[in-house]
Amino acid sequence: MTETHADALSGLESPEEAAYELRAAEASIWTGSRLLISIFAFTFAALAFAYFYLRSSNSADLWRPNGVTAPTATGAAIMAFTLAVTGLQYYGVRRLRSGTILDWEVAGWTAVLAGLIALGLQCWELTDVPFTPGSSGYASVFTGWAVLNIALLLGGLYWAETLLARHVRLRRAHVEEGGEKSGLLVARVTRINIVSCAHFWMFIGLIAVFFWVFFYVVAG
Amino acid sequence: MTVEIAPPTSGVGEVRPPTRGPASRRPAWFGQHVGTALVGMVAGYALGHWIGNVIASGYAHVQGSGENDVAIVLGMVLGVLGWLAGIGALNYPLAKLVGRDSVPRETTGWTRYFRYNLTHKVVGMQYLIMVLVFLFTGGLLAMAIRTELLSPTSHIYGPGTYISIVSEHGTVMMMMASSMVLGPLGNYLVPLMIGSRRMAFPRVEAFSFWCFTAGYFVILSALPLGGFPTGWTGYAPLQTEATAGMDSYLVGFLVVGTGMVLAGFNIVVTIIHYRAPGMTWGRMPIFVWSILVTGVLLATATPTLAVACLFGILDRTAQTAFYVNEHGGSSYLWENLFWFFGHPEVYIMALPGFGIVGEMLPVFTRKPLFAYKVGAAGMVGVGLLSYFVWQHHLFQSGINPDMRPLYMLTTELISIPTGFIFLVGLGTLYKAKMRFEVPMLFCLALYFNFLIGGITGVFLSDVPVDVTVHGGFFVLSHFHYTIMGGLVFAFFGAVYYWTPKITGKTLNQRLGKIHFWMMFVFFNLTFFPLFLVGLFDQPRRVFEYAKNLQTLNDVASVSAFLLGSSFLVFVANFVWSLWIDPKRAPANPWGSNGLEWQTASPPAWYNFERIPVVLADPYHYSEPTEVPVADLAPTNFADAAAAANGGGA
């Protein structure tokens, strides 16, 4: 036997209750995204702790022997592409708020493309570093950063891509059902999610800048 | 990872309606369930191991060692992914990539407990069973430890096997204890207690459970891989030098840690946003307060553990040197990162226990909860301060001695909010006419046990005492008194208390009292002698000891076996009362005012026929004019909600 929420709740949910739960669902996405940022903030704080701890300990005088640094140009490119995603997300949200959905779509897909490039560069950089992972404290922390950054970019891109994919499918379904291609649907269904995703990308952008400074500018 | 995207297509949100279709009429063994998850895990492990061998078998350090950590870790990671794919946890995330909603099979009947199910009550029950599996596994390992310690000189195991058993016991128990209350009781009861029909992110909730389960298999794999010698704390540099069993520890904690973060994330958001109208912060049950703080700690402290484990995995596979002093790393880095998680972890384990007894004491004393707001504030205070004490675990590690007074002070400071919480309980008990039902006995035992555990903790926070007894059985007894004496007793009290709610059946009270007295007496007879053993300098994690300590050790060992057998009484009671001779429980057997008791037992899966409007906190016992806790059938929901919120605390 199969039972569904629809079966169970049909006739039980008044319009006021439905509206109450809708508000709760929207607020949950808002709070959830902030809590998600906190979770990742602690994650990267642990990485930053490792960076400064090993740098100040300088065990066996092997924090960063001979001033070796990861490829600066690649690192800068990764940061630039990550910031591009952040900027495009921000721009898309602004355009969406002003009712221009097409701009949001174009900015969103461009952002996904830029994010994929950043991700690819980060993976490639790992194969192109002028040190072995265990050769120094710096090399170790850099390897850890690369792995965590790949995970972060993957997570952020997944969120951005799924929002766009969902939008495309909903719009198509809406048109097939005879509805107009209006801004109402996407605004109602995913606006708060889109804004939250943009905030998450701002956090990713900040992380990218901080660790770019740590690893390429003031590596010590 | 991403937050659950919940497209509320018509209001209720994400668990909204899969439709009946041909697929849902298939027999129960079709589709995805634990069986397919196991197949996925084995296949994933085999694939990962093969890839790891292809990648790394040529590396010099692998060829020389006869052990390929890359293959083992990749096997474990793909094994976990296979497990999650097999159970169906990845269906929705993958479907979303192309913009689709996957339609979950929502079944009723017993098979739903073996599936990826999005109903919070099912997840709560799944957690309950898995927590008991963890507990009994760790308990059997504890029996093995005490068997070895029956004699100071005759040995059953070698020293390596002994330390592996100790390490496995500690790790399994810590993993279990982290989720012991929040997993089963938090997931099951919190929506009922706050007047919600659902969780905020049901998929995240279910995902957290299946991560927890996968972690069990991973940590258990340490035994066939030769175990690990570090204890549950996994200290470097021993960690870096250990053999393949250490991979199980690191991957296992990473997987379980992921589940802990997600569980905390979901429950925090649920409590913040899914409280019924009128359920103001000042009316929220104290148990929910404890779960809220625990959830925040889980979500924010555990990422540090995950990162520490990732570094350990990289050291062992990619040959980084995070914890290798000779190559620019530092073993202290692990210790700091681990304990930055590890001390909040102590309160992750302790706070829910206090929440449980805080919820039950008013019911069995028929008195309002004494100083409710102080108790809630104490929990928040403990949660905040728990981030600032971790270095007291390193007093003896060689840290800068100037740091010791600071951390001694913060550690002693945390005893103040802890004392608040304790005094709230004592104030409620003061001049009370108590009903000594089984749950109440467990509550009282918690206060007795935690008093001993807490006071010895104050001693241990002082550097001179810590320096003297560090690394011995005194510390071991202290934390068993706080965690087992606190959390585990509270957990069993909660099981007796809420089983009528969850199952509609009552556990046998006579067997319950036998269980309680055996557990209480033999718990104290097991661990109190170990304080003395510790004061006589018997070190932890060593399988030989001075002959003059044999009597005390034997008392502890025999008591431990009897303590273990008390759990068999519980299992017998559980099976007897729920399946062999079930007795229908009254609707509200303890006479509680709690909102969860105002709906059917067991609750319908939508919890409340109408979203209730909360009118008062649930602790107005024995007051001349008792206020109804909630309006369960508000005629005009919007108006009633506005009125209740306006008049709230």
Which chain A residue shows the shortest CA-CA distance from B105?
A2
- Residue-wise pLDDT for A8-28, tens only, equals 555 567 888 888 888 899 899
Is residue B154 located within the same domain as residue B258?
yes
- Residue A119's CATH number: 1.20.120.80
Is residue B132 located within the same domain as residue B73?
no
Beta carbons of B147 and B141 less than 8 angstroms apart = no
Is residue A37, in this structure, part of any structural domain at all? Answer: no
Which chain B residue shows the shortest CA-CA distance from A169?
B99
Q: How far, in whole angstroms, is CA B645 from its chain's centroid?
A: 33
Is A3's pLDDT higher than 50?
A: no
Q: What is the number of domains present in chain B?
A: 2
Is residue B89 located within the same domain as residue B178?
no
pLDDT of residue B27: 62
Distance CA(B129)–CA(A95), nearest Å, equals: 50
Question: Of B104, B137, B162, which residue is a domain's last?
Answer: B104
| Chain A contact present for B73, CB below 8 A | no
Distance CA(B325)–CA(B288), nearest Å, equals: 44
Is residue B274, in this structure, part of any structural domain at all? Answer: yes
| Chain A contact present for B339, CB below 8 A | no
Residue B127, number of CB atoms within 10 A of its CB: 26
Between chains, do B330 and A8 touch, taking CB under 8 Å as contact? no
Distance CA(B609)–CA(B595), nearest Å, equals: 13
Give me the sign of the Cα torsion angle B331, B333, B334, B340. positive
Is residue B71 located within the same domain as residue B135?
no
Between chains, do B325 and A59 touch, taking CB under 8 Å as contact? yes
Between chains, do B3 and A33 touch, taking CB under 8 Å as contact? yes
pLDDT of residue B25: 56
Between chains, do B330 and A144 touch, taking CB under 8 Å as contact? no
Is residue B537 located within the same domain as residue B404?
yes
Is residue B206 located within the same domain as residue B58?
no
pLDDT of residue A10: 53
Is residue B453, in this structure, part of any structural domain at all? Answer: yes
Taking every pair of C-alpha atoms in chain A, what is the biggest distance, in angstroms?
73
Q: Which residues does chain A have within 8 Å of residue B17's beta carbon, measured at their own beta carbons?
A: 4-7
Domain that holds residue A86: 71-220
Distance CA(B274)–CA(B197), nearest Å, equals: 8
Q: Is the bond preceding B368 in cis, omega lying within 30 degrees of 0? A: no
| Chain B contact present for A28, CB below 8 A | yes
Residue B395 class from Cβ within 10 Å (0-12 exposed, 13-18 middle, 19+ buried)? buried
Best to test chain B binding among A13, A14, A21 (most B CBs inside 10 Å) = A21
Is residue B93 located within the same domain as residue B194?
no
| Chain A contact present for B111, CB below 8 A | no
DSSP SS3 for B35: helix
Q: Which residues does chain A have within 8 Å of residue B337's beta carbon, measured at their own beta carbons?
A: 46, 49-50
Distance CA(B329)–CA(B321), nearest Å, equals: 5
Instruction: Give every residue of chain B whose pLDDT is below 70, as ranges.
Output: 1-30, 103-107, 626, 646-649
Q: Which of A3, A6, A144 sits opposite B322 (nearest CB)?
A: A144
DSSP string for B588-615 = STT----GGGGS-SSPPTTS-SS--EE-
Distance CA(B280)–CA(A194), nearest Å, equals: 29
Domain that holds residue B50: 31-104
Is residue B496 located within the same domain as residue B465?
yes
Between chains, do A12 and B610 touch, taking CB under 8 Å as contact? yes
Is residue A100, in this structure, part of any structural domain at all? Answer: yes
pLDDT of residue A11: 58
pLDDT of residue B208: 97
Interface of B with A in 154-213 (CB under 8 A): 197-198, 200-201
Between chains, do B17 and A4 touch, taking CB under 8 Å as contact? yes
Is residue A2, in this structure, part of any structural domain at all? Answer: no
Interface of B with A in 602-621 (CB under 8 A): 604-606, 609-611
Question: Of B79, B104, B129, which residue is a domain's last?
Answer: B104
Distance CA(B417)–CA(B116), nearest Å, equals: 39
Between chains, do B321 and A50 touch, taking CB under 8 Å as contact? no
| Chain B contact present for A147, CB below 8 A | yes
Is residue A153, in this structure, part of any structural domain at all? Answer: yes
Q: Which residues does chain A have within 8 Å of residue B200's beta carbon, measured at their own beta carbons?
A: 24-25, 28, 32
Q: Which of B413, B393, B415 is nearest to B403 (CA)?
A: B393
Is residue B79 located within the same domain as residue B130?
no
- Residue-wise pLDDT for A118-177, tens only, equals 999 999 999 999 999 999 999 999 999 999 999 999 999 999 999 999 888 887 776 666
- Residue B530's CATH number: 1.20.210.10
- The token pair that represents B584 in the structure block: 């229908």
pLDDT of residue B575: 96
Is residue A195, in this structure, part of any structural domain at all? Answer: yes
Is residue B646, in this structure, part of any structural domain at all? Answer: no
Beta carbons of B114 and B86 less than 8 angstroms apart = no
Beta bridge partners of B630: B614
Is residue B423 located within the same domain as residue B557?
yes
Is residue B138 located within the same domain as residue B254?
yes
DSSP string for B48-97 = HHHHHHHHHTTSHHHHHHT--HHHHHHHHHHHHHHHHHHHTTTHHHHHHH
Is residue B615, in this structure, part of any structural domain at all? Answer: no
Is residue B149, in this structure, part of any structural domain at all? Answer: yes
DSSP SS3 for B176: helix
Q: What is the number of domains present in chain A?
A: 1
Best to test chain A binding among B304, B313, B316, B320 (most A CBs inside 10 Å) = B320
Q: Which residues does chain B have within 8 Å of residue A24's beta carbon, measured at their own beta carbons?
A: 13, 200, 273-274
Beta bridge partners of B631: B613
Is residue B344 located within the same domain as residue B398?
yes
Distance CA(B201)–CA(B262), nearest Å, equals: 10
Give me the sign of the Cα torsion angle B350, B353, B357, B360. positive
| Chain B contact present for A31, CB below 8 A | yes
Is A1's pLDDT higher than 50?
A: no
